[in-house]
């Protein structure tokens, strides 16, 4: 399935995550030859699709293709090469397994900008900036310094040769609709536009009241809840606030005559933190 959007198409129609093309007229915001192709794992695709929607609402000149690994696997080698050749910028996110060897075997333009994030380590050789083709382990493993805009700037000052790659990685580590939009815009602008990072906590709480949602810290939530009344907890992954999934949270809570809280957490330690807090 393939969807094409233009300025006369509603941005709120259902979107297939297995193939997504945004193709619109270029304007002065981005260079006329700039476009972005994203190759992303099926699981991570919703975050980038949501960011692409937001970017199109703000800048209808954006030209973005998002292809999941599932769709990539359906392409033959010639079709894959054509997809790569048509891309001014190429972003690979969460790519592992069978596609890795196929991507490594393709030909790439020397003028194409390429970023590889959270993928098979071998794919880092495809980063277009030579210095980012072999990134030191202390930089690769440092997520703490990507948790705030100030920390990111300090890290970039220490490693100026990785400024754009670190910016892209920070957007993805703090994955959200807003940061995905910023990531795509950075690629479209050839790194000239870097919207400030919007940090995303590893553990987040949202209290639903009627048709309103209040994002609160754990302590703020404890003060808001009525201990004498039952509470319904909706536990979800940290991408649970993306448009389609978040509507399920809202609809479910609106149907209840009870206090309703969404708890979003990344995999790993934040999930354990989530259950420890709920047991208190």
* Helix/strand/coil (H/E/C) assignment for every residue in 208-251: EECCEEEEECHHHHHHHCCCCCCEEEEEEECCCCCHHHHHHHHH
101-119 pLDDT, tens digit per residue, is: 999 999 999 999 999 999 9
- What is the pTM (predicted TM-score) of this model? 0.72
Q: How far is residue 137's CA from residue 243's CA, in Å, rounded to a whole number?
A: 35
143-182 pLDDT, tens digit per residue, is: 788 888 999 999 999 999 999 999 999 999 888 889 999 9
């Amino acid at each position: 399935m393939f969807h094409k959007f233009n300025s006369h198409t509603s941005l709120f129609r259902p979107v297939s995550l297995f193939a997504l093309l945004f193709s619109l007229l270029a304007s002065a915001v981005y260079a006329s030859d700039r476009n972005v192709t994203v190759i992303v794992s099926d699981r991570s695709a919703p975050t980038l699709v949501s960011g692409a929607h937001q970017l199109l609402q703000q800048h209808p000149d954006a030209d973005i293709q998002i292809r999941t690994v599932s769709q990539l696997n359906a392409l033959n080698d010639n079709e894959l090469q054509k997809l790569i050749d048509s891309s001014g910028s190429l972003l690979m996110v969460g790519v592992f397994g069978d596609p890795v060897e196929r991507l490594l075997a393709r030909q790439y333009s020397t003028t194409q900008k390429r970023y590889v994030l959270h993928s098979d380590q071998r794919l880092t050789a495809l980063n277009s900036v030579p210095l980012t083709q072999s990134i030191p382990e202390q930089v690769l493993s440092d997520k703490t310094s990507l948790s705030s805009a100030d920390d990111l700037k300090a890290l970039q000052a220490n490693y100026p040769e990785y400024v754009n790659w670190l910016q892209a990685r920070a957007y993805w580590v703090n994955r959200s609709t807003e940061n995905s939009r910023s990531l795509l815009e950075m690629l479209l602008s050839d790194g000239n536009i870097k919207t400030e990072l919007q940090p995303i906590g590893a553990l987040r709480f949202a209290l639903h009241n009627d048709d309103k949602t209040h994002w609160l810290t754990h302590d703020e939530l404890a003060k808001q809840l009525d201990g004498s009344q039952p509470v319904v907890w909706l536990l979800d992954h940290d991408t649970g606030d993306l448009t389609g999934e978040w509507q399920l949270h809202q609809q479910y809570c609106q149907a209840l005559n009870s206090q309703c809280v969404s708890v979003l957490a990344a995999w790993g330690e934040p999930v354990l933190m989530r259950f420890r807090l709920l047991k208190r």
